[in-house]
Amino acid sequence: EIVLTQSPDFQSVTPKEKVTITCRASQSIGSSLHWYQQKPDQSPKLLIKYASQSISGVPSRFSGSGSGTDFTLTINSLEAEDAAAYYCHQSSSLPLTFGQGTRLEIK
């Protein structure tokens, strides 16, 4: 099973700040890494697919990078509405797995 480890687990940030969340895979997964945002009491929403591909309707302040085992989600100029949990997810091999999540709090 491919283990995905996110860091940090929690971050408290101020609006307009730049945020970086990392996801490390226990073995190489190429670019089969995707990012989701989950706000309280909502279902997850796809933000970035295949490490760096943007999703229609997602604000351009969200971007992704990386390949192999190390990946990054960057949120430029954070907004209050970005308070949420963020999860990475690999679709390279079964079982599909998710990172443990990173919770962003807006100060």
Partner 1 sequence: EVQLVESGGGLVQPGGSLRLSCAASGFTFSSYWMHWVRQAPGKGLVWVSRINSDGSSTSYADSVKGRFTISRDNAKNTLYLQMNSLRAEDTAVYYCARAPSVVDYWGQGTLVTVSS
Measured in whole angstroms, the distance separating CA 1 from the mean position of its chain's CA atoms is 20
Q: Give just the sign of the alpha carbon dihedral 43, 101, 12, 53.
A: negative
**Footprint (CB under 8 A) of partner 1, residues 55-94:** 55, 87, 89, 91, 94
Q: Counting contacts by CB under 8 A, is residue 34 touching partner 1?
A: yes
Site for partner 1 (CB under 8 A): which residue of 36, 37, 62, 64? Answer: 36
Alpha carbons 16 and 76: distance in angstroms, whole number: 7
Task: Report the residue number, 38 or 67, with the smaller CB distance to partner 1.
Answer: 38
Closest C-alpha to 76, from 33, 32, 15? 15
Stretch that binds partner 1, among 22-30, 40-48, 57-65, 76-84 (CB under 8 A): 40-48
